[in-house]
Amino acid sequence: MNIDYIRKTVRQGAISGISEEHLGGEFLCEGCALGKLSKLPHPTVKNKPSMSVGETLHADISGHIPTKSIGGASYMLLIKDKAFTIV
Protein backbone atom coordinates (compact mmCIF):
# COMPACT_ATOMS: atom_id res chain seq x y z
CA MET A 1 0.00 0.00 0.00
CA ASN A 2 1.18 3.49 -0.60
CA ILE A 3 1.47 6.01 2.22
CA ASP A 4 -1.34 8.25 0.90
CA TYR A 5 -3.80 5.36 1.10
CA ILE A 6 -2.68 4.56 4.67
CA ARG A 7 -3.09 8.23 5.71
CA LYS A 8 -6.58 8.34 4.16
CA THR A 9 -7.54 5.15 6.00
CA VAL A 10 -6.29 6.58 9.33
CA ARG A 11 -8.27 9.84 8.76
CA GLN A 12 -11.43 7.79 8.16
CA GLY A 13 -10.90 5.96 11.46
CA ALA A 14 -10.67 2.55 9.79
CA ILE A 15 -7.37 1.77 11.56
CA SER A 16 -6.95 1.73 15.33
CA GLY A 17 -3.69 2.11 17.22
CA ILE A 18 -2.07 4.58 14.82
CA SER A 19 -2.48 8.31 14.46
CA GLU A 20 -1.68 10.77 11.69
CA GLU A 21 1.20 12.08 13.82
CA HIS A 22 2.89 8.68 13.45
CA LEU A 23 2.69 9.05 9.69
CA GLY A 24 3.85 12.67 9.53
CA GLY A 25 6.96 13.69 7.64
CA GLU A 26 8.85 11.28 5.48
CA PHE A 27 7.64 7.71 5.67
CA LEU A 28 10.15 4.98 4.90
CA CYS A 29 9.26 1.33 4.94
CA GLU A 30 12.37 -0.85 4.54
CA GLY A 31 10.36 -3.76 3.13
CA CYS A 32 8.74 -1.50 0.53
CA ALA A 33 12.11 -0.07 -0.50
CA LEU A 34 13.66 -3.54 -0.83
CA GLY A 35 10.69 -4.76 -2.86
CA LYS A 36 11.16 -2.00 -5.41
CA LEU A 37 14.88 -2.64 -5.95
CA SER A 38 16.05 -4.26 -9.15
CA LYS A 39 19.33 -5.83 -10.21
CA LEU A 40 21.21 -5.45 -13.43
CA PRO A 41 21.54 -8.63 -15.49
CA HIS A 42 24.80 -10.52 -15.32
CA PRO A 43 27.25 -9.41 -18.00
CA THR A 44 27.48 -11.55 -21.11
CA VAL A 45 30.68 -13.52 -21.38
CA LYS A 46 32.12 -13.97 -24.85
CA ASN A 47 33.59 -17.41 -25.48
CA LYS A 48 36.97 -17.65 -27.09
CA PRO A 49 36.51 -19.08 -30.59
CA SER A 50 39.57 -21.29 -30.14
CA MET A 51 38.24 -23.02 -27.03
CA SER A 52 39.49 -26.58 -26.88
CA VAL A 53 37.82 -29.66 -25.41
CA GLY A 54 38.37 -29.85 -21.65
CA GLU A 55 39.38 -26.19 -21.31
CA THR A 56 36.16 -25.06 -19.60
CA LEU A 57 34.03 -27.50 -17.63
CA HIS A 58 30.82 -26.86 -15.68
CA ALA A 59 29.91 -29.24 -12.84
CA ASP A 60 26.72 -29.71 -10.87
CA ILE A 61 25.91 -32.20 -8.12
CA SER A 62 22.38 -33.28 -7.29
CA GLY A 63 21.11 -35.31 -4.37
CA HIS A 64 20.18 -36.85 -1.96
CA ILE A 65 17.84 -38.65 -4.39
CA PRO A 66 15.31 -40.90 -2.61
CA THR A 67 15.30 -43.55 -5.34
CA LYS A 68 18.75 -45.09 -5.63
CA SER A 69 20.35 -45.95 -8.97
CA ILE A 70 21.01 -49.54 -10.06
CA GLY A 71 24.49 -49.19 -8.60
CA GLY A 72 23.08 -47.85 -5.29
CA ALA A 73 24.05 -44.20 -5.75
CA SER A 74 22.00 -41.42 -4.11
CA TYR A 75 23.85 -38.50 -5.71
CA MET A 76 24.50 -37.49 -9.32
CA LEU A 77 27.42 -35.49 -10.70
CA LEU A 78 26.95 -33.82 -14.09
CA ILE A 79 29.99 -32.42 -15.90
CA LYS A 80 29.49 -30.48 -19.15
CA ASP A 81 32.30 -29.48 -21.48
CA LYS A 82 31.58 -25.98 -22.78
CA ALA A 83 33.51 -26.59 -26.02
CA PHE A 84 31.44 -29.68 -26.82
CA THR A 85 27.84 -28.64 -27.41
CA ILE A 86 25.41 -30.58 -29.57
CA VAL A 87 23.13 -28.24 -31.47
Give per-residue pLDDT as tens, 47-84.
666 677 888 888 999 888 888 888 889 999 999 887 76
Q: Where are the domains of the chain?
A: 3-35, 52-87
DSSP E strand boundaries for the chain: 57-63, 75-81
pTM equals 0.35
Neighbours of 7 (CB within 10 A): 14
d(CA 10, CA 16): 8
In the chain, count H helices and then E strands.
2, 2
Q: Which of 3-12, 38-47, 73-82 has the highest mean pLDDT?
A: 73-82
Amino acid letter, 16: S
CA distances from 28 to 6, 7, 21 (A): 13, 14, 14
